[in-house]
Structures are given as C-alpha cells and as structure tokens.
Structure 1
Amino acid sequence: MGYKELLKINSYRNLFVGQVLSDIGNWLTYIIIISIFTYQWNLPPSKLALLTIFISIPWIVLSPFSGIFSDMFDRKKIMVVCDFLRALLVILPIFFQSYWAILLIITLIHSTAVFFEPSKQSAIKELVPEQGLIKANSLSQLSSELSKIVAPSIGGLVLFFGNTSIAFILNFICFLLSASLLLKLPHLKIQEQPKKEVKVNIHGLLSGFKFIVSRSKLLLSVISMFFITFFIFIIDSFIALWSKGVGIPSSLFPLLISAIGVGSLIGAIVVGKFGERISPIKLNLFSILVVGLLFSIIGLSGELFELHFVFWLCIWSIIALVGSAVPISFAVVLQTQTPSHLMGRVYSASESITNIPMFIAPLLGAWLINLIGIGYVFLSVGFFFVLFTTIGLFFVQNRGAHDKQTELDVV
C-alpha cells in the first residue's frame, strides 16, 4: 500500500490532518511559553526545569487511566472531547499571566493529550489495513517532525511582532479545526469484545503492563524504547556542550540542529517507503545499532581525531535519519502485537514506562559529564546501544515466533 492509497481512505486522511493540526498546536504552545519564561520574564534555570517536569507528570501518572478509558468508550468521542478541551485551555494564558497558573494550564493541556494519544493509536490500527501501518506511522512521525519546524517559524513571527496572544488564538483555531475533522470519523467502538468488562481498578490499570510482559516481541520493543529514551535524554541537553568542545563555533550550531531536523524528516519518508521490507522489531534494533556506532564515533572525536564541520553535519543527519525508524517501528510492533480491545491500555502502559527517563536522565547526564567528560558519555551510550541491540537481535533470531495467547488473562 502506497501513500496515495493510504490517504485515499477518507477516515484516515481526516485523522492524519487532525493530527498535523494538533501537533502544530502542541509545539506552538511550548515554543511561546518557553520564550515568555526565558526572554520576557527572565526566569532562572530551576524554574525552566520545572516546565519539563510538569509536562512529564501527566504522561507517567495518568497514562494507565487513559488506556482504560480508550478501551471503554468510543475513541472518536474521546479524541474530539480532548481537542475541544485543549482549544479552551490554550487560550487561558492570555488571561492568567502568572508562572504557577501557566504551569497548571500546561499540566492540564498535557493531561488531555495523555487521553488523546491512546485513542489516536487505536484509531490508526482500526482505520488502516495491517499492510499500511508502517506508512501510517511514518506519516505520524513526519507530522511530529514537521510541527517542530512549522511551529517555531510561526512562533518566531509572533514574537517578532511582540503579541503572544496571537499564538494562543492560533492554537485555539488549530485544535478546533482538528476536532471538526475528527467529528467526521466513524464511531470507533471496540470490535473484539472481551469476555470480561473493562473496569477502572488495580487489575485494569495493570492489564496493559501484564500484556506487554506476556509478549516477547512487544516486551523487547518497550525495553529498547525505554533505554534509547533514557540514554538520548542523558545527552540531548548537552549537544551544544559537545559542539563547543569539538570546536564548532556558535554561529554554526543552529545549522547542526537544522541538519538533525532535516534528517528526521527524510528518515520518516524513507522508512515509510522501504520499511516494510524488514520486520518492525528488527528495524527497531538495527536502527539503534547504527545510532550506537555513530555515537561511538562522536565520543571518540576530540580524543583520537578531529573532523570537519561538514562531516559532523552528515553524521548528525544520519543519526536523525536512522533514529526516526525507532518510534515508527515501535508503533507498528505495538499495533500488530496488541488486540484492539487492549490497544489503549497497552499503549498507555508503554508510555508510562518510556517517559520515566524524563525525570532522571538529564541529571544523570550532567553528573556523568562532570565525572568522565562528555566524550566518554557519548562513547558509553554508543557502546551500550551496540551491546543491547546485538543481544536483542540474537534473541529475536533464535526465539520462536510463537507468543503465549494470554489476552483473556489480562483483560
């Protein structure tokens, strides 16, 4: 199934365009608020750090509950209600101009996003044939990466003219348009009815985690996603520090970041076009393996050799290009390994696990850099990626393809 055939599915096309609008709205909100905190209010680093923590709390705490709701109710209605709520929430900073009020608003916005995402992932599984899942998820990744380019551009124009209220109004419009498109979707009720009713209790909250543990490929994918998120967060905040250490001038650093963005965009397209030729779990592990090798090269730079800036642009572009396969393949594994009536809970459980690194990884990265230096941190991360994926590929190659059929035990 090609992109044209996929986008000819009216219901999926409405879902995709709605996602693009939601992604732009999410990133525009973040760009404007972090700009207000930094440039207008001159807040210290400790208060800026709290923004990331407040964003991550709903994803860790509320994800198991959002999965149950996604499996209990019409997923179309959940997505529409979430977008309407976000439309109302994003205009509140116009009227409440205090630090703690905005943190509360941001937390509420991301709380609604936590309930939106499991239903969106389940909707993709329901609306797209299995042979089109790799392309559908590559388009989702493409939407995410494009929003990181479009939203800062809009935000830059808004900040240039000095009226941040315009950005919040644009967000309001984005989420309303997204909700109007999602209203056109068919009702997304569960087709596979489990024998036991879904309930909001401890058993229901843990059912997604239990199912992940029961499926070897799914468990391996979640573990790999956890570790790559953990180690990426260790070094993500310190790319500028590495750049300075290898002699890249500050005037060229934005080009390095742009190269990462371009690589991610190209990667999403390439994976969508050719990713079906390899199984999703192997694609996931091979991608992490290549990223690990390139991180090792970065770690050795400055210690054993030096490279021209053009080579660094190429290396970081390739890292982004190859790395874009990781979330795409992870989403496909999740959708193909999970039955429809468990999709919300399993996706939410995976989100709870893979968002934990947001709390501890940056602090650990800072401590390790002070202890052994940034070059050896990159080298250590690269070595771990290579070791982990080698073991993972050996496991996938030698393990039988049969998983325990335990859906009824975890419902």
Structure 2
Amino acid sequence: MGTNSWKKEWKNPSLLLAGIGISNLGDWIYLIALNLMILNMYDSAAAVAGLYLLKPAASILTSFWSGSFIDRFDKRRIMIGLDVIRAVFVAIIPFFSSLGLIYLFVFLINMASSFFHPTATTYITKLVPEERRKRFNSLHNLMSSGAFVIGPAIAGALVFVGSPGLAIFMNAISFLLSGLILSLLPGTDDDVIRGDRLSFNMIKEDWSAVIAFSRKAVYIMAVYTLFEIVMVFTAALDSTEVVFTRRVLGLSESSYGVLVSIAGVGFIAGSICVTLFVSIIPLRHLIGTGGFMTATGYLIYSLSNSFIGGSIGVFVLSFALACANTGFITFYQNNLPIEIMGRIVSTVSVFQSIFQIVLIVAIGLVVEIISVQFAVITGSFLMLTVAIVLIWLTAIPAKSKYFRDSSIVTHVH
C-alpha cells in the first residue's frame, strides 16, 4: 500500500501518541533512577555530571550517518528495533558495578535514542496529514510535558519502595511496551530501497544533498538553526541548575524539588494552552514569540535571588518552551522535503551536539572562575539576542508562505 493511501486511511493518532509517550515517560524514569544509582554507588557529583556529556557525544557519533539509514528504510521497523535494543541495554545496567561499563551502555542507549527521535519525527510527518500536524504536535508536546512531571514522580516512588534498579527495570519494560504499540501502526514499506547498503560514499553523497538543500533554502535553514541555538542554550544553562539554586537562590533540596515541579506545571500549562487554541495561534507566533519568551524566562530566572523570582522565571520559560516546540516541529515538518528529512535533522544534530558540549564546558569554566550567576546571566542574554533575531526573522511579511497553516484554514472553512 502506498504512503498516500495509508495516510488517508489512518485517522486515529492515539496509538502513535501512546507509543512515543510511553517511550518519553520511560526516558524520565531512567534518567532520575540512573542518577540516583550512580550517586549511591560512587558518591561522586562528577560521576553523575559525566552522564550529561554522554548524550551529545553519542549524538555526534550517530547523527552523521543515521539520516542516510532513516530516509531509506521502514521507519516503524527502525523505531521498534531501537525500542527493543534500548530495553535490553537498560535492563542490563543494574547488574554492573563498574562505572566504565555503565557509561558504555548509557552511551549505547543514548546512541539509540539519538537515532530514534529523528526517525519518529520523519514517521510522524509521513503519517499525519499537514492540516493535522500542528494539533498532533501540540498533543505530543502535552504528553511529553506530562512525562516530564510524572516520570520523576514514578521514579521516586519506585526507588522508595524498591531501589533505583527497580525503576530502571520498569524503564526497560516501558520500551518494550512502546515497541509493541508501534508494531500495531502502519509501516512505510514504500521507503525501502532494495539492495541499498550503508557506505561511506552514500553518507558523503547524502551530506552533499543536505548542503545543496541548505544553500537553496537559506531562510528555512536560518529559522531552523536559530531555534536550535536557543534550545542548545537551554540545555547548557540547565547543567548549572542545581548549583544555581543552591548558591544563588539558597534553596534546600525540598525547595529545589518544588521549583522543578513549577517548571513541570508551566510546561503542562503551555501545552494545554497550545492544544486548546492551536487552530487560532499562527505558526510564526508560536516559534518567534515562544522562543523570545523562553529566553526572557531564563533571564528572569538568572537575575533572581529568591525562590519567588526563580519560580516566576522557570514557569515563564517552561510555558513558552511548550509553545515554541509545537510551532518549530510543525514548521520543519511542513518545509523540509520528506525524502531527505531524516538526513537534514541528523546533520543539524551533529553541529548542535558539538555546540552543546562546547557551551556546557564554557559555562562550567565561567562558573568556576567567576560565579554561577554571572555565567547564567551571560548565557541568558546571549540566548535572548538569538531569540530577538529569530522573532524578527519569523515576522518578515514576505516570508509568510513558510508559515502556511492548514489547520487555521481548515478551521475557518
């Protein structure tokens, strides 16, 4: 059955949302439980911090070739296979006592995750008609925000009644359940090119195709790149979160937990807002204004010296981030050619991960040499500068065709 015919027949996004949502929930349970397991085993903050460098490092190693694979093979089968691989590797981790072995398997799991996400995005683009993508993405974002709040709570409960290892085993089960749900969805066999084998020449040609598209679609890639830079700043600044809340805001562990919960509530509130008003909020406003308000929230947070100020900042940035993510994903689904989408997303991920590592190290050095508040304020101002350029770029009237919004047109008529 061809792609277009099964796309028209497939009407219910619930299974796809459930599969990806369970996978996201498992990611959060695993992250919290793994942090606690490492801390309990080695009593080392540095050992825990090392986990956060493994993800961008794995992305660099995977992303430069994964797009070539994603664009040529059945995406549903790829996602199912990656869920099974992650389930097996996650289930093995609690049996290790060596930090090196734990790091190795976490690295491999992160490689699979960096492979999974562009595959899922490309699959969603093929499966969901353009006029329904913004609503689907808003629901997807809502599920992700729910996982952000519920995941740590489930992890905490599992650790309380058992151990971090129990929470990690539950994460492995969640990956298997996700794979089972994805197996019920339609495949994309029309993607499969018989006889194709991944090779260096193929990867080289694919990178050339991405570069050629980028030169032809300068505006699309400019919006894409600027938004991703804003997201890299958010990830880099998050690496200072615990130190900032302790040294600058003076929060206890329990108060820090409340601050994280407020961020989760902000994300859920933003996701609900977008879901309810998705048919009337223009795409360019979700991206431009959402990105600008995310940076503004970080600035409020960085200039705060109290729990109240920090709470306002994290709520604003989380609320805005939920809006911005929905707009951005819909933007690139509508504007990137589906036949090379996996390659474009993966190629950008390589540079994004390199920049993220550099930025995390740079911010860490500023924290040690000067102060954590100076580092966070400086990072927030730089993020705001990029966000201002982004909101200007998205507001150019002549570029309105790139923000076509079938959901609004459908709603009106």
Common topology (TM > 0.5): yes
Q: What are the ranges of 5 or more consecutive residues in structure 2 without an aligned counterpart?
A: 1-8, 403-413
Give the distance between the partners of 2:95 and 2:51, measured in 1 at CA: 19
Partner residue, 1:167: 167
Secondary structure of 2:71 counterpart: helix
8 Å CA contact 1:22–1:174 kept in 2: the answer is: yes
Secondary structure of 2:97 counterpart: coil
Displacement of 1:261 in angstroms is 0.9
Match of 1:364 among 357, 362, 365: 362
Displacement of 1:109 in angstroms is 1.5
Distance 1:382 1:117, change over 3 A: closer
The answer to whether 1:347 aligns with 2:345 is yes
Secondary structure of 2:184 counterpart: coil
Letter in 1 for 2:139: L
Give the distance between the partners of 2:368 and 2:165, measured in 1 at CA: 41
Partner residue, 1:110: 110
Distance 1:113 1:401, change over 3 A: same
8 Å CA contact 1:71–1:198 kept in 2: the answer is: no
Secondary structure of 1:292 counterpart: helix
Distance 1:397 1:165, change over 3 A: closer
Partner residue, 1:26: 27
Match of 1:263 among 266, 269, 278: 266
Match of 2:223 among 204, 221, 225: 221
CA displacement, residues 330-354 of structure 1 (integer Å, 9 cap, x when unaligned): 2111111112211211221232233
The answer to which of 54-63 and 290-299 deviates more is: 290-299
The answer to which of 270-279 and 282-291 deviates more is: 270-279
The answer to which of 371-380 and 333-342 deviates more is: 371-380
Distance 1:377 1:159, change over 3 A: same
Give the distance between the partners of 1:277 and 1:217, measured in 2 at CA: 24
Displacement of 1:311 in angstroms is 5.0
Letter in 2 for 1:108: L
Letter in 1 for 2:110: H
Displacement of 1:36 in angstroms is 1.0
Distance 1:291 1:21, change over 3 A: closer
Distance 1:252 1:40, change over 3 A: same
The answer to whether 1:38 aligns with 2:36 is no
8 Å CA contact 1:209–1:349 kept in 2: the answer is: no
The answer to whether 1:145 aligns with 2:145 is yes
Secondary structure of 1:387 counterpart: helix
Q: TM-score scaled by structure 2?
A: 0.83
CA displacement, residues 1-59 of structure 1 (integer Å, 9 cap, x when unaligned): xxxxxxx95663211111111112222222222111102332x3333232222222221
Larger % of helix: which? 2
8 Å CA contact 1:280–1:333 kept in 2: the answer is: yes
The answer to whether 1:292 aligns with 2:320 is no
Give the distance between the partners of 2:297 and 2:94, measured in 1 at CA: 44
Give the distance between the partners of 1:321 and 1:403, measured in 2 at CA: 27
Give the distance between the partners of 2:118 and 2:236, measured in 1 at CA: 27
The answer to which of 146-155 and 124-133 deviates more is: 146-155
8 Å CA contact 1:214–1:403 kept in 2: the answer is: no
Displacement of 1:192 in angstroms is 12
Distance 1:263 1:206, change over 3 A: farther
Give the distance between the partners of 1:247 and 1:394, measured in 2 at CA: 33
The answer to which of 48-57 and 309-318 deviates more is: 309-318
Displacement of 1:378 in angstroms is 4.1
Distance 1:232 1:94, change over 3 A: closer
Give the distance between the partners of 1:300 and 1:271, measured in 2 at CA: 28
CA displacement, residues 96-143 of structure 1 (integer Å, 9 cap, x when unaligned): 332111111112222222222222111211221212212222222223
Give the distance between the partners of 2:162 and 2:215, measured in 1 at CA: 51
Equivalences, count: 390
CA displacement, residues 338-386 of structure 1 (integer Å, 9 cap, x when unaligned): 1221121122123223333431222212333455544444443443344
Alignment of 1:305-384 (within 5 A): 309-370=307-368, 373-384=371-382
CA displacement, residues 301-332 of structure 1 (integer Å, 9 cap, x when unaligned): 45xxxx7x445423321221012222222211
Letter in 2 for 1:207: A
Give the distance between the partners of 2:164 and 2:301, measured in 1 at CA: 39
The answer to which of 383-392 and 74-83 deviates more is: 383-392
CA displacement, residues 220-240 of structure 1 (integer Å, 9 cap, x when unaligned): 233223321332234223334
Give the distance between the partners of 1:297 and 1:114, measured in 2 at CA: 31
The answer to whether 1:177 aligns with 2:180 is no
Distance 1:359 1:247, change over 3 A: closer
Distance 1:369 1:317, change over 3 A: same
Match of 1:394 among 381, 392, 395: 392
Partner residue, 2:234: 232
* Identity %, equivalent residues: 23
The answer to which of 344-353 and 375-384 deviates more is: 375-384
8 Å CA contact 2:86–2:109 kept in 1: the answer is: yes
Q: What are the ranges of 5 or more consecutive residues in structure 1 without an aligned counterpart?
A: 1-7, 405-411
